[in-house]
Structure 1
Amino acid sequence: MNSRLQEIRERQKLRRELLAQQLGAESADSIGAVLNSKDEQKEIEETRETCRASFDASAPGAKRKCQGEGEDPEEDVEDQKDEVEQQQAEDSGPYEVVYKDSSTFLKGTQSLNPHNDYCQHFVDTGHRPQNFIRDVGLADRFEEYPKLRELIRLKDELIAATNTPPMYLQADPESFDLRELKCKFDVILLEPPLEEYYRESGIIANEKFWTWDDIMKLEIEEISALRSFVFLWCGSGEGLDLGRMCLRKWGFRRCEDICWIKTNKNNPGKTKTLDPKAVFQRTKEHCLMGIKGTVRRSTDGDFIHANMDIDLIITDEPEIGNIEKPVEIFHIIEHFCLGRRRLHLFGRDSTIRPGWLTVGPTLTNSNFNAEAYSSHFNPPNSHLSGCTEEIERLRPKSPPPKTKADWGGARPGAGAGPRPGAGTGAANATGPVSAATGAGSGAGGAHTGGSPLAREKVPEKTCSC
């Protein structure tokens, strides 16, 4: 408890220091001197109005000149009249407050303007609006949700215990036949070096970049299992449409879009975007998720655990020229899909990890053996990681699908004709069938068997989420 309290205090101290830096305060303790309360703001406005009114009252008398100085009285009166009219015209206009920076608009400043203009703050300081999103890391995301935090911990332990040893193969997917892997994969992650990455940064590529025509030629459909998922990083431009075409060609249906929001806390400033077609600065990338086969959240709990993570990744943008993707994408995939056969195409030495087969042209070594890799999934081992009772109890679940009886619809033959002990309801019966009497409850049908009031209420199916 003491360590938890100490951690909260340290985070509060860091936030106050950041706010003091943004507001121009000398230290975190002097923020109160910079910020004004509502009463103080009201007092300031009243003082301004008083000064303005006193100035208006004293302006004509202050500008009078002594007539004993040899000046023409009529000319003097005309000058005074012109000055008074000019002053009145200036005072009659609306009072405009000039803002020199965006500190007035930031959250927590109790300013006269209630808006949090983080876009203006980006223009002033270079800090992107997403820099101010709190608790974005894996360790802090579920800090206030103990149930989900415990679930993630249990899932990580199970994944670590069921992962296969890391395997990697130095091969160029353009010339390598993927069928030589001799395996059908549950999850395939593609991270192609797109031309878009190098075009925006203006740096010459140290490896061959791939066009979307080259990516579409990959025979992903030959190495994907009957029910499987593919995750394709497609940038933030034309890849959103061309990536969908790739999924369709491989036999997948797009079902999700994971968005990587890039922050610049460590390097605030404006991104040097060199793409001639860009109007705005791009600070995000997309990872398209495709599904193959029939997989339902409510019935296929042995293969997927839905709603374990969010579809956003918020991390700091890497340096210019670095096209590596955040490691959090691996956690999202492992938490979601229970399949243990995972393939990472276009991987690098830095992305080799347990539970994955990494294939890429820039790898410096290889240890892949098709027979040894397949042996990890032979009986009694399974290609699924399995689940524990505690994980099943904690994980979010979808309600099971309701049958027609649950919705009040008639089953085939219910109330359609005479049966032993059954009523002779109309063929378009819409009510439930009584389990106690077998009587149809069709509207308008004559009842001949059992009590018409004897109906058993169908209990609703529930599940613990």
Structure 2
Amino acid sequence: MSEIQRQKQKKKVSWDTKDKLHLQLQLRTKRVSPPLASGKCYLSPNTTFSLRLPTKSSMVNNNNNGQGNNQGKNGKYIKTPLSASFKLIPTMGLVNYNQPPVIIATTPTQINISVKNNFNNNNNNRENKDNKENNDGNKNVRNNCYKNDYTNNYIHSGKLPYKYIRNAKQQVEGYPKLQRLYKLKEQQVLKYATRPYGCKINSTQDLTSKLNSWVYDYELQFDVIMIGALTENQLIYPLLAQLPIDKLCSKPGFLFIWASTQKISELSTLMNDQRTWSKKFRRSEELVFIPVDKNSVYYPKEWSIPEDQLLEEVQWHCWMCITGTVRRSSDNDLIHCNVNTDLCLENNQTGNSAVPSQIYKVVENFSSSTKRLHIIPTSTGINKHVNVRPGWVIASPDIILDNFDPVRYKNDINAIGTNIPHHDEIEQLRPKTPV
């Protein structure tokens, strides 16, 4: 017998169908690594072998249907070619160089092998158990695959993970019906909007006196009121407690208050104060705006973050409070729910306004009212501009346009109406709350 035939006889693979698929090979290499001082050598941990298994014959029953093409001459045996590439993982790295290395092979993910079809139920159950174990192993492999590690990327590059969100600019990308809905809502809001109004205030006392004059002298009320902007100096508890917001806001009405993460506690105190706003407004929703870059004008300043705080809280919160009774499922003439999401991300079209335009759009798409007021109590600085907007009255120390007249404003409201009229296509496209 030749040396090659002897080597082939030694390289036998045992197949055990009772236990988990396990291959153990004994390979004798042609070139043996030079021995170490101890007379032993190491196997490389990255060694990969390619193995092709020989054809395996299995006993089958003559009455087996669907495998007639594979039956032998006597109808009792079939031959199923079984070939696969195995990645062999060395488990015994330190062996004697005069002896063949013993290597444990990993099992393949899926192998079809023909076996006897007259197995009893116990063997079938054992085979199902083996398949389940193999499937669990495949899940572990999929879970451990390489993924985008944005946390590690932030450590090396300084770029925040949510900067890589693809639909930050157009959240309804890929949804043609929602895109059509957004376009119709924008046209409808612009059609029934008043001219841009601005009211310049010189001090906090001037703001309080003007609001009291609007309430008591002109009997003016607004259905939507927004307070503050994306700056740290807006939520001033003593000032807001003096404003007649409960009398300035009609019922039902909506109040939007901006606050940074560090000012949430003051906002909670303001809403629970028994002397001011308690039981007059109740918190309903919360809008969140997130800047995507540390160079953004909306990113919180370092002095506003406590020194002993490990993580930086960069998001801005806008609480939506309701006064009066509003039902999501029935009051379709007042509100349109579920049109926009409550999370907004900064994009390249956000600009440097004191309040991003996408926040205004969320409020306009939610409420059908045409009477909207935005109060910015203090200056926002030179980096954040206060811009006028159609359909809004903006009161701020930094506003350039100062053209607000209560009588003229009431005439404009009487001309366009207090609510945006019903639109059939918008009503058909918008998401509806179940009754």
- Which bracket does the TM-score occupy, shorter chain normalised? 0.5 to 0.7
Are residue 294 (structure 1) and residue 317 (structure 2) matched? no
Q: Is the 8 A contact 1:244 1:254 kept in 2?
A: no
Q: Is the 8 A contact 1:265 1:316 kept in 2?
A: no
Q: 1:311, 1:279 → 2: CA distance?
A: 27
The residue number in structure 2 matching 1:284 is 315
Q: Deviations over 1:262-288 (max 9, x none)?
A: 112988xx9873422432122311111
Are residue 373 (structure 1) and residue 409 (structure 2) matched? yes
Structure 1 gap ranges (5+): 1-52, 64-79, 93-109, 198-207, 401-465
Quote how far apart the aligned CAs of 1:327 are: 1.5
Q: Summarize the Cα distance change of 1:59–1:223 in structure 2 as closer, same or farther, 3 Å threshold.
A: farther
Q: Summarize the Cα distance change of 1:170–1:265 in structure 2 as closer, same or farther, 3 Å threshold.
A: closer
The residue number in structure 2 matching 1:458 is none
- Give the counterpart of 1:243 among 267, 276, 280: 267
Q: Summarize the Cα distance change of 1:187–1:118 in structure 2 as closer, same or farther, 3 Å threshold.
A: same
The structure whose RCO (Cα within 8 Å, separation 6+) is larger is 2
The residue number in structure 2 matching 1:447 is none
Quote how far apart the aligned CAs of 1:83 are: 9.1
Count of residue correspondences: 293
Q: 1:388, 1:219 → 2: CA distance?
A: 35
The residue number in structure 2 matching 1:180 is 213
Q: Summarize the Cα distance change of 1:318–1:396 in structure 2 as closer, same or farther, 3 Å threshold.
A: closer
Q: Summarize the Cα distance change of 1:351–1:222 in structure 2 as closer, same or farther, 3 Å threshold.
A: same
The residue number in structure 2 matching 1:58 is 33
Write 1 or 2 for the structure with the bigger share of helix.
1
Quote how far apart the aligned CAs of 1:246 are: 2.6
3-state secondary structure, aligned to 2:265: helix
Over the residues paired in the alignment, what is the CA RMSD in angstroms? 3.6
3-state secondary structure, aligned to 1:255: strand
The letter for the 1-side match of 2:213 is: E
The residue number in structure 2 matching 1:398 is 433
Are residue 257 (structure 1) and residue 290 (structure 2) matched? no
Q: 1:57, 1:314 → 2: CA distance?
A: 62
The letter for the 1-side match of 2:354 is: E
Quote how far apart the aligned CAs of 1:163 are: 0.2
Q: 1:289, 1:263 → 2: CA distance?
A: 23
The residue number in structure 2 matching 1:69 is none
Q: 1:290, 1:230 → 2: CA distance?
A: 5
The letter for the 2-side match of 1:368 is: F
Are residue 189 (structure 1) and residue 226 (structure 2) matched? yes
Are residue 143 (structure 1) and residue 173 (structure 2) matched? yes
Q: 2:240, 2:339 → 1: CA distance?
A: 30
Write 1 or 2 for the structure with the bigger share of strand.
2
The residue number in structure 2 matching 1:433 is none
Structure 2 gap ranges (5+): 1-27, 46-91, 95-141
TM-score, with normalisation over the residues of structure 2? 0.60
Q: Summarize the Cα distance change of 1:168–1:323 in structure 2 as closer, same or farther, 3 Å threshold.
A: closer
The residue number in structure 2 matching 1:362 is 398
The residue number in structure 2 matching 1:123 is 155
The 5 Å alignment of 1:44-443 reads 58-60=33-35, 63=36, 80-81=37-38, 113-137=145-169, 140-172=170-202, 174-175=204-205, 176=207, 177=209, 178-181=211-214, 182=218, 183-191=220-228, 197=232, 211-237=236-262, 239-248=263-272, 249-250=276-277, 251-264=280-293, 273-274=302-303, 275=305, 276-316=307-347, 324-346=354-376, 350-378=386-414, 381-400=416-435
Quote how far apart the aligned CAs of 1:172 are: 4.5
Q: Is the 8 A contact 1:266 1:316 kept in 2?
A: no
Quote how far apart the aligned CAs of 1:124 are: 1.4
Q: 1:398, 1:59 → 2: CA distance?
A: 76
The residue number in structure 1 matching 2:71 is none
Q: Is the 8 A contact 1:166 1:354 kept in 2?
A: yes
Q: Is the 8 A contact 1:166 1:356 kept in 2?
A: yes
Quote how far apart the aligned CAs of 1:397 are: 1.5
3-state secondary structure, aligned to 1:244: helix
TM-score, with normalisation over the residues of structure 1? 0.56
The residue number in structure 1 matching 2:16 is none
Quote how far apart the aligned CAs of 1:193 are: 7.2
Moved more, 249-258 or 306-315: 249-258
Higher Rg: 2
The letter for the 1-side match of 2:38 is: K
Q: Deviations over 1:171-192 (max 9, x none)?
A: 1562122122342111111115
Q: Is the 8 A contact 2:197 2:401 kept in 1?
A: no
**Runs of 4+ in structure 1 over 4 Å off:** 82-85, 316-319
